């Protein structure tokens, strides 16, 4: 007997940029027949509700979760505000798609993970880049042994400072934000996904703060080397302090994976499609009057073409909705993987602050260590 797809009532907490995208995509899915949103900003709530045809709007996520129609949730608040809605979703028993990271505080992340795993709900993390074909192809080559035993990986991510400034403006605790925790985590997740059979045991890192530090009390960039239990290594570098006119809409990434039998290099810098124009561009993360050149397709979410979003967030959202409706397996990051990525990024920041190697894994108590 053929299994009937489940109907979905979707609760979206946080109607910002990503909440709107997820909502618009969900509104077109054949199994979604109810959408509610919780958004504190009333003007934004009204705009998004109109765009997606929301059936229910509130400023309180608890009121949203109390609705009997809600059968699943997207958590798309600011990164540092994830814990309370996630725990409320766990109490309600809702499967969730949680925007990365799981939390920005390691203790909160550990608490959330414990609650999710105790409840047994299906909670996944929005590491959108897993849904781009190039990373799926790379994953398959590593998984199938085409490279032999992976011995060394490198990644280099460059970003202009628009994302950094936007994040620092939205927080009263700049010490809780870093390029690794907010943005470097994408490259880190891709690499750790490739190396999921290996166990990192130590990290050694350094950071610089000469561009963003004076005004924003923030970190410009970090470099780190991970050592694994089998002596393989991973070297990663990220800077999100490049000038605003740097052409990458957000991410410009290069990855190299070396194994005993082969090598795989991935150019994800987006320098193959370059737009230069006299007109200000409104695409990407944020519009800026000084930007006239763009590496097209470098916005990780995807691109608007012919009136619709095309790209990995569309694939990821549809895949998650099909996971709910049809029980299909997907490549989403698990909550445990999400916590692991936060732990590793926090370990990088800790090692850079202490200026010495740090043993892995670290605990929430280690995160605040100063000596």
Annotate 128-192 with DSSP letters as a single string: GGGGSHHHHHHHHHHHTTTT-SEEEEEEEEEEETHHHHHHHHT-S-GGG--HIIIIIHHHHHHHH
Q: How far apart, in whole angstroms, are the C-alpha atoms of residue 308 and residue 25?
A: 9
Q: Are 129 and 189 in contact (CB under 8 A)?
A: yes
| pLDDT score for 171 | 84
| pLDDT score for 268 | 96
DSSP state of 279: S
DSSP state of 248: B
The CA-atom distances, in angstroms, between 112 and each of 28, 121, 324 are 31, 12, 21
Q: How far apart, in whole angstroms, are the C-alpha atoms of residue 244 and residue 246?
A: 5
What is the pLDDT tens value at each position of the chain, 371 positions in all? Answer: 457 899 999 999 999 999 999 999 999 999 999 999 999 999 999 999 999 999 999 999 999 999 999 999 999 999 889 999 999 999 999 999 999 999 999 999 999 999 999 999 999 999 999 999 999 999 999 999 999 999 999 999 999 999 999 989 888 888 878 999 999 999 999 999 999 999 999 999 999 999 999 999 999 999 999 999 999 999 999 999 999 999 998 889 999 999 999 999 999 999 999 999 888 765 566 777 788 898 999 999 998 889 888 999 999 999 999 999 999 999 999 999 999 999 999 999 999 999 999 999 999 989 877 66
| pLDDT score for 176 | 77
106-119 and 335-354 helices cross at what angle (nearest 10)?
160
- The number of beta carbons lying within 10 Å of the beta carbon of residue 78 is 13
Q: How far apart, in whole angstroms, are the C-alpha atoms of residue 347 and residue 360?
A: 8
Q: What pLDDT digit, counting tens, does each position of 76-102 carry?
A: 999 889 999 999 999 999 999 999 999
Helices and strands, number each (H, E), in the chain: 13, 18
| pLDDT score for 1 | 47
Q: Are 227 and 274 in contact (CB under 8 A)?
A: no
**What domains can you pick out in the chain, each with its CATH number?**
8-129+319-334 (3.40.50.720), 133-300+343-347 (3.30.360.10)
């Amino acid at each position: 007997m053929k299994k009937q797809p489940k109907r979905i009532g979707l609760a979206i907490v946080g109607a910002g940029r990503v909440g709107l995208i997820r909502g618009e995509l969900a509104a077109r899915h054949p199994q979604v027949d109810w959408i509610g949103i919780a958004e504190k900003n009333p003007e934004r709530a009204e705009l998004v509700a109109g765009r997606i045809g929301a059936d229910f709007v509130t400023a309180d996520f608890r009121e949203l979760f109390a609705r009997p129609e809600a059968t699943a949730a997207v958590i798309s608040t600011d990164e540092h505000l994830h814990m309370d809605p996630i725990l409320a979703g766990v109490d309600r028993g809702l499967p969730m798609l949680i925007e990365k990271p799981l939390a920005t505080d390691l203790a909160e992340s550990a608490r959330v993970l414990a609650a999710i795993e105790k409840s047994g709900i299906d909670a996944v993390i929005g590491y959108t880049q897993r849904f781009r074909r190039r990373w799926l192809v790379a994953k398959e080559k590593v998984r199938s042994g085409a490279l032999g035993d992976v011995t060394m990986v490198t990644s280099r991510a460059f970003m202009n400072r628009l994302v950094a400034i936007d994040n620092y403006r939205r927080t009263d605790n700049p010490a809780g934000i870093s390029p690794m925790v907010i943005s470097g985590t994408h490259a880190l997740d891709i690499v750790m996904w490739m190396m999921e059979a290996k166990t990192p045991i130590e990290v050694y890192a350094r950071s610089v703060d000469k561009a963003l530090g004076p005004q924003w009390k923030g970190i410009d960039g970090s470099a780190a080397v991970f050592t694994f239990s089998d002596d393989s290594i991973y070297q990663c570098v990220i800077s999100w302090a490049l000038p605003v006119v740097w052409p990458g809409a957000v991410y410009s990434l290069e990855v190299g994976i070396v194994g005993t039998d082969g090598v795989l290099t991935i150019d994800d810098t987006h320098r193959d499609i370059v737009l230069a124009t006299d007109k200000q561009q409104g695409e990407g993360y944020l519009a800026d009057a000084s930007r006239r050149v763009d590496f097209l397709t470098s916005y990780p979410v995807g691109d608007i073409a012919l009136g619709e979003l095309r790209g990995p967030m569309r694939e990821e959202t549809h895949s998650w909705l099909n996971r709910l409706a049809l029980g299909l397996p997907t490549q989403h990051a698990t909550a445990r993987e999400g916590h692991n990525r936060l732990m590793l990024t926090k370990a990088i920041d800790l090692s850079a602050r202490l200026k010495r190697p740090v043993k892995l894994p670290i605990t929430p108590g280690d995160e605040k260590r100063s000596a």
